[in-house]
Structure 1
Amino acid sequence: MKTKTTLDERLLALVEPIAMAMGFEIVRVRVMGGKRKTFQIMAERNDGTMNVEDCATLSRAVSAMLEENDPIGDEYTLEVSSPGIDRPLTAPAHFARWEGFEAKLELDRLVEGRKRFTGTLAGYEEGHVLLDMKGETETAHIPFDWIADAKLVLTDALMAADLKARGGAPEQGSEETP
């Protein structure tokens, strides 16, 4: 799920060793657009952080390789970013790390007449993403290989967890006094 096309796969093979050597995990790569393409790289450190300086450092390292190899062939803009709060989930470890948070999954096939599922992540086990869905009594076991796209849902709980991880504290509500 880190890639969608064969070009994305070739680019991942080129940039992933560079990123790994610098202490970054590639979350996703995509080449998007028509006439003027955008080569998007989402990355983060092992602790889940990715600041502006990290993006610039990785961008410079990848740019040097891209200039030398020209794997895209057309004009493009390189965009290096963090995955963001409502991040894509592209590796088994992501589903375990974000257990307890709401996620949307889209499958590459119909299951019980549908492809899209939303629920609370319940972990990852033996090649399956575990998902607790409203109205269901049992945890769904969805084969990781069936997932075409997955991402966290932006909720108050997710924003609070992100703020806490960045060293902030949620704002305390203030009461009005007469």
Structure 2
Amino acid sequence: MGKVAETVTDFVLPIAHSEDLNLIDVEFLKEGSDWVLRIFLENKDGDLTIEECEKVSRSLSIILDEEDPIDKSYILEVSSPGLERPLKTEEDFERFRGELIAVKTFKKINGEKEFIGTLKEFADDQITLILDDDQEISIDYSLVARANLTFEI
């Protein structure tokens, strides 16, 4: 997580908690010619209403305008994480055990950097997947660049 995302996380967490929402992720990235600050949240039901997005967006906008932590113009987006939700915490991996996930690693494991499989478990900082060929692979969490839910078409 970059410096902007870390700073914004500190601003978003109290707002999310006051609205009984879980902060899933904060991204600050360039898309085309625009910078985008994207906040992903969910409620207890695992989704997010438009009203909840609006409340958080308004509250966060006020703080960002006052604190001014970002030295460039940007677009603020507040949304649910969607179908391909990132998995960041041990709780995420526990919650989505048995689901199909995609994992990208910083370096190659068995000649590959991308894996798709059913999440078997997360234990001792290891993600264990069952791959399409029914083989299991354990990936050290420190090697994970990104993990997210995925789906088959």
TM-score by length of 2: 0.88
- Runs (4 or more) in structure 1 with deviation over 4 Å come to none
Residue aligning to 1:76: 74
1:19 aligned to 2:44? no
Contact 1:96-1:122 at 8 Å conserved across structures: no
Amino acid at match of 1:81: S
SS in structure 1 opposite 2:87?
coil
* Cα distance in 2 for residues equivalent to 1:6 and 1:110: 27
1:10 maps to which residue? 7
Please state how far the C-alpha of 1:117 moved relative to its aligned partner.
0.7
Measured in 1, the distance between the counterparts of 2:6 and 2:16 equals 15
How many aligned positions are there? 152
Matches within 5 A, 1:32-71: 32-33=29-30, 35-71=33-69
Using the aligned pairs only, state the percent identity: 30
**What's the counterpart of residue 168 of structure 1?**
none
Aligned-residue CA RMSD (Å): 1.8
SS of the equivalent of 2:83 reads coil
CA distance in 1, matches of 2:107, 2:142: 11
Hey, what does 1:92 align to over in structure 2?
A: 90
Deviation at 1:152, TM superposition (A): 1.4
Task: Note the alpha carbon deviations across 1:110-158, whole angstroms, 9 max, x for none.
Answer: 2122211110111322222221112244x322222221111211237xx
Deviations 1:36-84 (A, max 9, x none): 3111001112331211111111111111111110111211111000011
The unaligned stretches of length 5 or more in structure 1 are: 157-178
Structure 2 gaps, min length 5: none
In structure 1, what is the Cα distance between the partners aligned to 2:19 and 2:139? 33
Residues 136 and 148 from structure 1, CA distance in 2 versus in 1: closer, same or farther, beyond 3 angstroms?
Answer: same
Structure 2: distance between partners of 1:126 and 1:23: 30
Match of 1:118 among 116, 119, 139: 116
Distance in 1, Cα, partners of 2:84 & 2:28: 20
Q: What is the Cα deviation at residue 35 of structure 1? A: 4.5
Quick check: which has more Rg, 1 or 2?
1
1:174 aligns to what? none
